[in-house]
Amino acid sequence: MDMNAHTQFCGVIGNPVEHSLSPAIHNAAFQKLGLNFVYLAFPVEAIGDAIKGLRALGNFRGASVTIPHKVAAVPFLDAVDPTACHIGAINTIVAEGGSLTGYNTDATGALRALREGGVTLQGQHVVMLGSGGAARAIAFALGTESGINRLTLLGIDERERTALARDLQSKTGLAVQASPLDDASLEQALPDARVLIHCTPMGMSPNVQGTVVPASLLHTGLTVMDIVYNPRETRLLTEAKAAGCRTVPGLEMFLHQAAAQFELWTNQAAPTEVMRAVLESRFS
C-alpha cells in the first residue's frame, strides 16, 4: 500500500515503546485488508502535549495507550466509554470528527479470549489474582458483561484490592470477596472455582519459574487464564495443563485487545489469524 495525503495513522503512545509488538500486528492487519492506514510507535513523556499535538493532525485516527499513560491520558479526552470510565483507565483512543474518545480493550480482549477458548462464564465463580490495572479492566468486564455469579479477588496490595472490590460492588452490583493473596486464601477459594485469572507479573520473563499458585490446588474443573504472555507458556499454564485444566494463554488476551482496537479504528472485522501469526512468530 502506497502512503499518500489520505493515509490515516494510528500509533502506540507510551514510555518505553521500543519493544512494542503493536506496530507489527496492526500494520500486518492493515495490509491484509488493503487499508490506507499506518501504525507507528511514539515514545512519549508529556502525555497532555502529545494528545494536543495529535489533535492538530488531520489524518490521526487513533492510538494505543500503554504504560505509564493509561490513567493520565483520561483528562485530555473529550469522552470516555462507560466501561473505561468505571475502570478509570483507557488503552485506546479513537479520533472521530475532531473528537477524541477513550476505550479500554483490555476488558473486551480478556472476555473475547475466554469465550474463544470455549469458557462458560454465566453463573460461574471466578477467582482473580492481582488488583492492578489489568485486573481492574478484566474485573469490570466480568462485572458488566459476563453474567458471572461471584468474584473472589486475591491481591497483595490491601489498599488497591479493597478499592477495586468496593468499586466493583458499587458500580456493577457483583458479589465480590476480597482477601490477601496467600496459600490459605487460595486453598479456600480454588476448590469450588470454575475460572482462575492470573493478573500479576509473576512468571513473566526473565523470572519464568515464578508462580503464585501451588500446583496441588489446580483441579480438572478449573479453567486457567494467565495474562502474562512472555513466555508464551508460563509455569502456571504448564502446571494447569498437567492437572487437566483448560488453559487460555496471555497471548490470546493480547491478540483480542489488539483486534478490538483495530475494529474501533477501521470499522472492519479484524483479521485475527494474520495478527496471531505475527504474534506467534515473535514467541516461537
- 82-138 pLDDT tens trace: 999 999 999 999 999 989 999 999 999 999 999 999 999 999 999 999 999 899 999
Side-chain-side CA neighbours of 279 within 13 Å: the count stands at 25
Q: Which three cell numbers stand for residue 226?
A: 494467565
Using the CB atoms, write b or e for 130-169: b if 16+ within 10 Å: bbbbbbbbbbbbbbbebebeebbbbbeeeebbeebbebbe
Question: Is 123 buried (19+), middle (13-18) or exposed (0-12) by CB count in 10 A?
Answer: exposed
pLDDT at 283: 79
For residues 83 and 51, is the Cβ–Cβ distance under 8 A?
no
Radius of gyration in angstroms for the set of CA atoms belonging to the chain, rounded to a whole number: 19
Q: Which residues pair with 175 in a beta bridge?
A: 150
Contact 110, 179 (CB under 8 A): no
Q: What is the C-alpha separation between 106 and 157, in angstroms, rounded?
A: 21
* pLDDT tens profile 11-39: 999 999 998 999 999 999 999 999 999 99
- Please report the domains of the chain, with CATH numbers, ordered by start residue: 8-103+253-282 (3.40.50.10860), 107-248 (3.40.50.720)
pLDDT band (50, 70, 90) for residue 284: low
Q: Is 52 a catalytic residue?
A: no
Prediction pTM value: 0.91
Per-residue pLDDT tens digits for 192-215 = 999 999 999 999 989 999 999 999
For residue 107 the three cell numbers come to: 476488558
Contact 272, 116 (CB under 8 A): no
Question: What is the secondary structure of 76-118 as a DSSP string?
Answer: GSSEE-HHHHHHT--SEEEEETTEEEEE-HHHHHHHHHHHHTT
Separation CA 87–CA 153 (nearest Å): 15
What percent of the chain is modeled with pLDDT above 90? Answer: 92
Measured CA to CA, the distance from residue 128 to residue 151 in angstroms comes to 7
Q: In what order do the strands lie in the sheet with 125-129?
A: 175-180, 150-155, 125-129, 195-198, 223-226, 246-248
Tell me what pLDDT residue 1 has: 66
Q: If pLDDT is split at 50, 70 and 90, which confidence band does 146 have?
A: confident
Backbone angles phi, psi at 254, to 5 degrees: -60, -45
Of 52, 70, 171, 241, the active-site residue reads: 70
